[in-house]
Amino acid sequence: MSDLLDDFRDDDAHEPATELVYGSVDEFVREYLRHMYTRPVAPGNARYRWAADWWRYPEAVARLEGLWRSWEHLRLDPATGASVWWRDHADHHMTCF
């Protein structure tokens, strides 16, 4: 019976999962993202400020989770992955913070 079910299973399910660089969104933020945004806050650019307790805000958690997951996926594209991540993900979401 299981041989019949194998025909309906997704072939990708049999491939080994790609190992993540960061084990959680928290690790991604601490180890990578916060180092990418080191601009000083001044009167002209103080519209948005980073909340040290970002994990308490559902929208921030959801956006950062998306940034982390998309970064993990796009890092595997050596040609344009980094550029696509910045343009389509980081630049878009980080203007919300």
Residue 72, C-beta contacts closer than 8 angstroms, at least 6 positions apart: 18, 20, 21, 22
Residues belonging to the chain: 97
Domain extent listing, the chain: 2-94
pLDDT tens, residue order, the chain (97 aa): 445 545 555 555 556 678 999 999 999 999 999 888 877 666 666 666 778 899 999 999 999 999 999 999 999 999 999 999 999 999 888 876 5
| Total-model pTM | 0.74
What is the pLDDT, as a whole number, of residue 24? 96
Q: How far is Cα 77 from Cα 61, in angstroms, rounded to an integer?
A: 25
